[in-house]
């Protein structure tokens, strides 16, 4: 899609179809709450990657790319969506607002919650199951996904906006080398500054540290990182896993020896033979949760 077409799609209230036949649309037709302007960076969107009808399971996953709340990594967005499509899962890549553009919490959380609500509100149109809508994220996108792990709500049944009547609770959560805590010494300081500012109050730091907010109502999680990760220490994953276990929430935790930070699928050219082993482990987990296709499916 050329830049002019992209801009027209963003400014239009009509759903736009790209050359790859993926749908891109605005989260709010009349502008996002708290928007600082009308530039593309002020307009959160979702791009839809639907699985083919012969593979589709009816499950969906909202995808939050990483980037330290300062940018959005494409290889942690569209490539994840295509990987999910191979398993029959619809992928919804979220372009959320960023700290580098002047936004702070709760703008990012509101964007992610709205995306989940939209998937449920339009489930019939996309042939999706409203009880199988998950969220996944990498690095700071993993932090955003973990925020919905702990700060979801059931929707406002009295809202005039049918989308806002939907629950924002994800049915499953995938966290890839995620930022979890906002507390020292294990937080990613750049993500914290972009999300909360340079001197956030202690109560806000605690509120946005998922390991301190997990409870028995939190949804099940697949969590992974690598021992080589020098940007976001594995303690982020370990602390969250301990909190989930304490609360009786099901989870699958994998800490791999090799890989470093920001590796995505492990191969940016989408060579399935070179995908990192986390993808195979996660595929098994998704099948067990009735999201992915059966292992015996062609």
Question: Tens digits of per-residue pLDDT, 13-68?
Answer: 333 333 345 789 999 999 999 999 999 999 999 999 999 999 999 999 999 999 99
- On whether residue 117 sits in a domain, the answer given is yes
Domain ranges, residue 92: 20-288
Residue 116 lies in a domain: yes
Confidence of residue 198 (pLDDT cuts 50, 70, 90): very high
pLDDT higher than threshold 50 for residue 3: no
79's tokens: 């490539």
pLDDT of residue 2: 40
Mean pLDDT of 66-76: 96
In this prediction, residues 212-230 reach a mean pLDDT of 96
247 is a domain residue: yes
Q: What is the pLDDT of residues 139-161, one digit of tens each?
A: 999 999 999 999 999 999 999 99
- Asked, for residue 297, whether it belongs to a domain, the answer is no
Instruction: Tell me how many domains the chain contains.
Output: 1
Does residue 2 lie within any of the structural domains? no
In-domain check, residue 90: yes
- Predicted pLDDT at 6: 40
Q: What is the pLDDT of residue 148?
A: 97
Q: What string of H, E and C letters represents the secondary structure of the chain? A: CCHHHHHHHHHCCCCEECCCCCEEEECCCCCCCCCCCCCHHHCCEEEEECCCCCCCCCCEEEEECCCCCCCCCHHHCHHHHHHHHHCCCEEEEEECCCHHHCCCCCHHHHHHHHHHHHHHHCHHHHCCCCCCEEEEEECHHHHHHHHHHHCCCCCCCCCCCHHHHCCCCCCCEEEECCCCCCCCCCCCHHHHHHHHCCCCCHHHHHHCCHHHCCCCCCCCEEEEEECCCCCCCCHHHHHHHHHHHHHCCCEEEEEECCCCCCCCCCCCCCCHHHCCHHHHHHHHHHHHCCCCCCCCCC
Q: With the C-alpha atoms ordered 231, 75, 145, 171, is the resulting torsion angle positive or negative?
A: negative
pLDDT value, residue 270: 83
Question: Does residue 10 belong to any structural domain of this protein?
Answer: no
The CATH number of whichever domain residue 138 belongs to comes to 3.40.50.1820
Residue 294 lies in a domain: no
Q: What is the pLDDT of residue 99?
A: 98
Round the average pLDDT of the chain to a whole number and report it.
92
- The pLDDT of residue 296: 59
Percentage of the chain exceeding pLDDT 90? 86
Query: How does pLDDT run across 92-109, given as a tens digit for each residue?
Result: 999 999 999 999 999 999
> How much is the pLDDT for 16?
34
């Amino acid at each position: 899609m050329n830049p002019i077409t992209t801009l027209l799609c963003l400014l239009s209230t009509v759903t736009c179809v790209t050359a790859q036949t993926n749908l891109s649309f605005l989260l709010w037709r009349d502008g996002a709450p708290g928007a600082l302007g009308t530039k593309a960076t002020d307009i959160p969107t979702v791009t839809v990657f639907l699985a083919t009808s012969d593979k589709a399971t009816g499950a969906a996953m909202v995808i939050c790319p990483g980037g330290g709340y300062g940018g959005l990594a494409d290889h942690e967005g569209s490539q994840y969506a295509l990987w999910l499509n191979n398993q029959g899962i619809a992928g919804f890549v979220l372009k959320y607002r960023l700290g580098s553009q002047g936004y702070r919490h709760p703008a990012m959380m509101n964007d992610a919650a709205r995306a989940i609500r939209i998937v449920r509100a339009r489930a019939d149109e996309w042939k999706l199951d409203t009880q199988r809508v998950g969220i996944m994220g990498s690095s700071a996108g993993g932090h955003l996904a973990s925020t919905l792990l702990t700060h979801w709500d059931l929707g406002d049944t009295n809202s005039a906006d049918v989308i806002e009547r939907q629950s924002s609770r994800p049915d499953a959560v995938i966290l890839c080398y995620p930022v979890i805590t906002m507390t020292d010494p294990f937080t990613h300081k750049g993500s914290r500054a972009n999300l909360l500012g340079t001197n956030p109050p202690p109560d806000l730091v605690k509120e946005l540290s998922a390991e301190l907010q997990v409870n028995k109502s939190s949804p099940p999680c697949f969590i992974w990182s690598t021992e080589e990760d020098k940007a976001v220490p594995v303690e982020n994953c370990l602390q969250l896993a301990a909190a989930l276990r304490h609360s009786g929430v099901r989870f699958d935790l994998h800490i791999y020896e090799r890989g470093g930070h920001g590796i995505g699928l492990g191969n940016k050219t989408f060579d399935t033979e070179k995908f990192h082993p986390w993808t195979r482990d996660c595929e098994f987990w998704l099948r067990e949760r009735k999201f992915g296709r059966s292992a015996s499916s062609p």
